[in-house]
Chains A and B, each alone.
Chain A
Amino acid sequence: MAMIEFKNISKWYGSFQVLKDCTTQVEKGEVIVVCGPSGSGKSTLIKCVNGLEPFQSGSLIVNGQSVGDKTTNLPQLRAKIGMVFQNFELFPHMNVTANLNLAQVKVLGRGVEEATEKSRALLTRVGLIDHAQKFPGQLSGGQQQRVAIARALAMDPIAMLFDEPTSALDPEMINEVLDVMVELAQEGMTMMCVTHEMGFARKVAHRVIFMDRGEIVEDAGKDDFFGTPRSERAQQFLSKILHH
């Protein structure tokens, strides 16, 4: 059974339909890249996975639990799914270590020492151990995003969601974040990434989902997608962003 399974997901904001009948799945260990023009519903789609965005119809099963079900313990489910945001969303009133420790202690019930040990190991891994005592505001965007990835990994997630993780970064900082993501993908992490970084997609994605106006227009293996996208809209999109 797939780790994440979307079945006919639809969502409306008032009368405006943001997601139209979306069906797809993510297997364990798979790396999925979701792309498409802005406003196509890609961020909304992945925010449905951990219940940050409610949806009105369809079903979404994550790790055997139905996200839309009122009896599902959302905090418990979310604790197992890491998420990285476009604007990092580190907690500005806590230092880097405290950012990483917070949910480990409060949600997983780890002791402070155990949590700190884990945090330090992850900070070493993303190359930021020297910044463990700094506040988010003292770090560059790329550093903040790497801290955010470490914060999500500190929860030992079974899957990771990335919502345009490099869109708010200066160009020279994009690679330091992508490198961490590539490494994660190569280690076999289940990942769902909304991104326009087609280089990243080419390198590590198993499948690419192309969305337009709330619909999944194309859901294909990486080679098929870049080789011969079937839909005209995907072709247009690719020609626009691969032009440079």
Chain B
Amino acid sequence: MFSNFDFDVIQRALPYLWQGMLTTLWLTLLAMVGGIVLGTILALMRLSSIKAISVPAGIYVNLLRATPLILVIFWFYFLVPIAIKHISGDSYAQGIGPFHSALIAFTLFEAAYYCEIIRAGIQSVPAGQVNAGYALGLTYSQATRLVVLPQAFRNMVPILLTQGIILFQDTSLVYVVGLTDFMGAASKVAQRDGRLVEMYLFAALIYFILCFLASYTVKRLQLRITPPR
């Protein structure tokens, strides 16, 4: 049944597809790291007993979570140049390019999701642990850094990585701002050579293999790091 198909097209396009994959991987990795850092800050803010701190974080998270990702990507691509022009007053100011604007969009978007994961992780650390830290004379910041977050992250590693896998898949949306990720590269080759079925099958296979391997690794990791209590 594959007699009409030309799978050589994939081989010829491999260098180009690899470039796309690098973009995908960099975007995933950087947005994940940025999202976790920002998400941690947001989670600590949301858990604050001071309303002036917790409410803005809550609004941010709920707003981003109620917005389609593709809209956020669009917004940053089109709004950031306008904002830069407005702030700098230079009407010829350039935007920051599709990669950087996509990176910022993903980081800010993922931060909202990571915030909720991390908030749950922090709450999973028993209050007695925090009290034990305080009783020893630790300050809030020390108790958070040395006692709460290490335990929270250990509990959260699997779900943080799972969110990373979702992010990896979501990065394929960057085609809307003309950034060539793996999906974009496959798509362009498919259109150019008129080999839609082959290329999309190949792309699906690669996404499947990578995500499956990553999920499997997460599962293995989960079994290993469950701490004795």
Contacts and interface: CB of A to CB of B under 8 A. Distances in A.
Interface in B132-147: 132-139, 142, 146-147
A137 to B, nearest CB: 3
Interface stretch (A4-12, A58-66, A78-86, A220-228): A78-86
Contacts of A75: 134, 137-139
Contacts of A89: 126, 128-129, 131-132
A2 interface: no
Contacts of A80: 137
Interface string B143-173: 0001100110010000000000000000000
Contacts of A81: 135
Contact of A103 (B136, B151, B229): B136
A92 B128 contact: no
Nearest to A83: B135
B227 interface: yes
Contacts of B89: none
Given A50-B135, A102-B146, 8 more contacts: A75-B138, A83-B135, A85-B132, A85-B135, A87-B128, A91-B129, A155-B136, A155-B137
A52 interface: yes
A103 B229 CA distance: 21
B14 to A, nearest CB: 44
Contacts of B142: 106-107
Most buried by B among A92, A137, A152: A92
B15 interface: no
A151 interface: yes
B151 A52 contact: no
B132 A106 contact: no
19 contacts: A52-B134, A74-B134, A78-B135, A78-B136, A79-B136, A83-B132, A83-B135, A85-B128, A91-B147, A92-B151, A92-B228, A93-B151, A93-B154, A102-B136, A102-B146, A103-B138, A107-B142, A135-B228, A155-B137
Contacts of B135: 50, 52, 78, 81-83, 85, 152
Interface string A45-82: 00000111000000000000000000000111011111
A166 to B, nearest CB: 16
Contacts of A93: 150-151, 154, 227
B138 A137 contact: no
Interface in A93-130: 93, 102-103, 106-108
B131 A103 contact: no
Interface of A: 50-52, 74-76, 78-83, 85, 87, 89-93, 102-103, 106-108, 135, 137-138, 151-152, 155
A155 B126 CA distance: 23
Nearest to A76: B137
B131 A85 contact: yes
A89 B126 CA distance: 9
Nearest to A103: B136
B132 A78 contact: no
B196 to A, nearest CB: 51
Given A79-B137, A106-B138, A106-B142, A91 B228 contact: no
Contacts of A83: 132, 135
Contacts of B136: 78-79, 102-103, 107, 151-152, 155
A117 B39 CA distance: 39
Nearest to A87: B128
B128 A107 contact: no
A102 B143 CA distance: 11
A27 to B, nearest CB: 22
Contacts of B129: 89, 91
Interface string B218-229: 000000000111
Most buried by A among B132, B135, B142, B147: B135
A97 to B, nearest CB: 15
Nearest to A47: B131
